A and B are shown apart, each in its own frame.
Chain A
Amino acid sequence: MGYVAIKGGGRAIRGAEAALEALRTAEGDTGTPLSLSTIENQLRLLTSRIVSEGGLYHPRLAALAVKQMQGDTLEAAFALRAYRSTKPRLLEAPIQDSGKMRLIRRISSAFKDIPGGQMLGPTNDYALRLMRLDLANESPESFRDVARHFMANTPETDLPDCFPKVVDALRAEGLLPALNGPAGTPFDITRDPLVFPVARSAALATMARAETGSLLAIAYSNMRGYGDVHPTIAELRVGYLPIMLPHPVTGEPIEAGEVLMTECEVVAMYEGTDTDGPPVFTLGYGACFGHNEVKAIAMAILDRALQKGMRDGPRNPSEDPEFVLLHVDGVDSMGFASHYKMPHYVTFQSDMDRLRTTQAKAAQCAQESQPRRQGENA
């Protein structure tokens, strides 16, 4: 397929931008501009999607992107990626330890009792999906009272910030494979293209910034039967990871900030061979910036499926690294779909010319064969 340059349309394009802005502000005199803080806090799960799919933990800019793109998550993630591409990379952080996460939620579907206990935290998991009509006319006063009331009526506690991981306990019992440890420099998907076969670090990084729906769709295909991971969630955690970086003067690790993230480890069917020692459960891992549990779980299932596919060869789409990793990026896939909206006048003209020529030839063939058939019939 060929592309051609076009010109003209500048005034219309400027008009389109203005029209878009006009719709954003169409509430007129009754409208109030959304503050970034409002988006970041009240639409926190939306902001979470953008930081993770944009690949940059910058909740405030993610909120701005949501505002600018009028709630389009794909375009908002695109804007955040475009922003990051303009910034210099100052450093690569030392490897961080997610065991240091300051948790606000941790659950396990593998065990009723886990070391430190299960805390549901902020979740819709057990909520009825009924519309809360009272929110439709929420007053600022009642809105402000909610958090204040919750905090005032919940007694202070001496719970620790961090908790041991469930998989560590399973590993100590010899039920899980030993840790591999960091295997060389991880693959940097922001600098290098994916050339298959790829390292697992490339797969994890690609899925960590994948589009949630795409990741879920492929993981769902595995869950429904096009695969056999059969996962159990050993632990799902949501919390704030302290980012430790070297102090510019002393070189000692200091806390430079924290990142809200979601992390999930799934335990899958056990495997073992005569040569590798006793059978152990297999594992899958998912994580992403922000609070996005479905994404972390889907990623963990796909990680397990891809490990299997990389080892034994893919038997299902979800086990095929090339299929999964090249189709889960929201900016890539949205870009490809959107490019069809751009002018393809010359290529389509060529298609029409070819069709007309083919039709003419077909008509000519039909005409030429008609007397022959008439002769044969006579």
Chain B
Amino acid sequence: MLTHTDLPRSQWLRLWTALPADRVRTAADELSKRYVVEDIELPQSGLGLLPLNDGALGEAYYLGEIPLARAHVRIADGAGKAVEGGAIIMDDRARLARSLAILDGVLAAGLPGFETARTLLNEGAEKIREITVDRQKLMAATRVDFSLLGTTDEEDDDA
């Protein structure tokens, strides 16, 4: 789903949470001053059970549990317009989830002030890009092409 950013909503939380939490909170607090924010569901933190399909036979099993925090808010302006925002993240901080839900709702609906959320999103995207590049380097630097003894020169590839 594309909205007021080219980045898909399915990735927004990942990108925002790549930034320091206080930046997200500050932005959400600023937006909260412009709108009336009500909790549709009280922000909560707890656990989620994590099922996977096993790679051998494809049967589902539980790998373990993950921490979760989630929030679901209604954001209303003075003119009677109201939108909903939500967040669910692997984190203990319910208040952070609520801040993210505010950013989510504002950006999805393009409410005035959404530029702040979008700016953070782009910064988060850059941070994630850096992490991705670093991980790819771990792979690229260790790519291996073993050869059988006697089938090639006996020199190592980096000798």
**B-contacting 9-mer, from A35-43, A65-73, A85-93:** A85-93
Q: Is B64's CB under 8 angstroms from A209's CB?
A: yes
- Mark out the residues of chain B between 123 and 159 whose CB falls within 8 Å of any chain A CB in the assembled complex: 132-148
Contact B13 A89 (CB under 8 A): no
Q: Are A261 and B63 in contact (CB under 8 A)?
A: yes
Closest CB of chain A to B152's CB: distance in Å?
A: 12
Residue B5, interface by CB 8 Å: no
Q: Is A98 positioned at the interface, with any CB of B under 8 Å from its CB?
A: yes
Question: A243: CB under 8 A from chain B?
Answer: yes
A288 at the interface (CB under 8 A from B): yes
Q: A-side binding surface: helix, strand, loop or mixed? A: mixed
A271 is an interface residue with CB less than 8 A from chain B: no
Given contacts A201-B62, A257-B14, A265-B55, contact A156 B137 (CB under 8 A): yes
Across the interface, do A248 and B56 meet the contact criterion of CB distance under 8 Å?
A: no
- Chain A residues lying within 8 Å of B92, measured Cβ to Cβ, are 58
Give the interface centre of A96, A247, A283, A284 by most chain B CB atoms within 10 Å: A247
Q: Smallest CB-CB separation from B140: which chain A residue? A: A157
Q: How many residues of B contact A (CB 8 A)?
A: 67
Most buried by A among B47, B51, B55: B55
A104 part of interface (Cβ distance < 8 Å): yes
B60 at the interface (CB under 8 A from A): yes
Q: Does A188 contact B (CB under 8 A)?
A: yes
- Of A133-141, A159-167, A311-319, the one contacting chain B is A159-167
| CB of A84 closer than 8 Å to a CB of B | yes
A130 at the interface (CB under 8 A from B): no
A242 to B13, CA, bound (A): 12
A218 beta carbon closer than 8 Å to chain B: no
Q: Are A118 and B144 in contact (CB under 8 A)?
A: yes
A249 interface hit (Cβ, 8 Å):
yes
Complex CA–CA separation, A186 to B137 (angstroms): 37
The reply to whether the CB of A102 lies closer than 8 angstroms to some CB of chain B is yes
The docked-state distance in angstroms from the alpha carbon of A92 to that of B58 is 18
* B91 located at the interface, meaning its Cβ lies under 8 Å from any Cβ of chain A in the complex: yes
Are the C-beta atoms of A89 and B57 separated by less than 8 Å? no
Chain B interface residues (CB < 8 Å from chain A): 1, 9-14, 17, 41, 44-68, 70-72, 84-92, 101, 104-105, 108, 132-148
Residues of A whose CB lies within 8 Å of any CB of B are 51-52, 55-58, 84, 87-99, 102-105, 107, 112-113, 117-123, 150-151, 154-159, 161, 165, 167, 177, 179-183, 186-190, 200-202, 204-205, 208-209, 240-250, 252-259, 261, 263, 265, 283-285, 287-289, 300, 303
> What are 11 inter-chain pairs, A to B, with CB distance below 8 A?
A90-B47, A92-B51, A93-B49, A112-B145, A122-B142, A155-B140, A165-B55, A249-B86, A254-B12, A256-B14, A258-B90
Q: A91-B49, A167-B56, A283-B56 are known; give 20 further A-B pairs, CB within 8 A.
A: A56-B65, A57-B67, A93-B48, A94-B51, A96-B53, A99-B55, A117-B143, A159-B140, A180-B57, A186-B61, A241-B52, A243-B90, A248-B72, A250-B86, A255-B10, A257-B17, A259-B50, A287-B55, A300-B56, A303-B56
